[in-house]
Amino acid sequence: MKKIVLYIILLSQAVNIYSNSSVDILKNDVSAKVISLAGSNAVTSYDIFSVNYNPATLGAIKETQAAFNQSNGFEDSKYSYISFGTPLPFKVISDFSNPYIGFSAYIANLGDMISRTIDNNGTITEKTISSEKDTVITLSYGEKVYKENNIFISQGLKSNFESGVGLGIKFINSKLLDKYSANTIALDCGYYGDLTDIGAKFGISLSNTMGSIKYIEEKYNLPTILRVGLSYSKPTIMEQSAEASVEFDRYINDKKNSLKLGIEYTIEKIFSVRAGYKFLDDNKGLAVGVGFFADNFSIDLGTVFYEVYKYSSVSLKYSFGAKEEVKKEKSKELKKFIEKQTPDNKTQLKPKEKSTKDTIIIF
The total number of structural domains that make up the chain = 1
362 within domain boundaries = no
Would you say 29 and 50 are in contact if contact means Cβ atoms under 8 Å apart?
Answer: no
The boundaries of the domain holding residue 308 are 14-322
351 within domain boundaries = no
254 within domain boundaries = yes
Residue 51, pLDDT > 50, answer yes
| pLDDT tens for each residue of 341-361 | 555 544 444 454 444 444 444
205 within domain boundaries = yes
| pLDDT tens for each residue of 114-152 | 777 787 777 787 777 778 899 999 999 999 999 999 888
332 within domain boundaries = no
41 contacts: CB under 8 Å, gap ≥ 6:
33, 34, 229, 231, 243, 245, 247, 262, 264
pTM of the model: 0.80
| pLDDT tens for each residue of 223-266 | 999 999 999 999 998 889 999 999 999 999 999 999 999 999 99
Residue 362, pLDDT > 70, answer no
Query: What's the CA gap between 277 and 3, in Å, rounded?
Result: 47
328 within domain boundaries = no
Residue 200, pLDDT > 60, answer yes
Confidence of residue 324 (pLDDT cuts 50, 70, 90): low
CB atoms within 10 A of CB 26: 23
CATH of the domain at 204: 2.40.160.60
Would you say 101 and 140 are in contact if contact means Cβ atoms under 8 Å apart?
Answer: yes
Reduced to 3 states (helix: H, G, I; strand: E, B; else coil), residue 131 is coil
361 within domain boundaries = no
Residue 180, pLDDT > 50, answer yes
207 within domain boundaries = yes
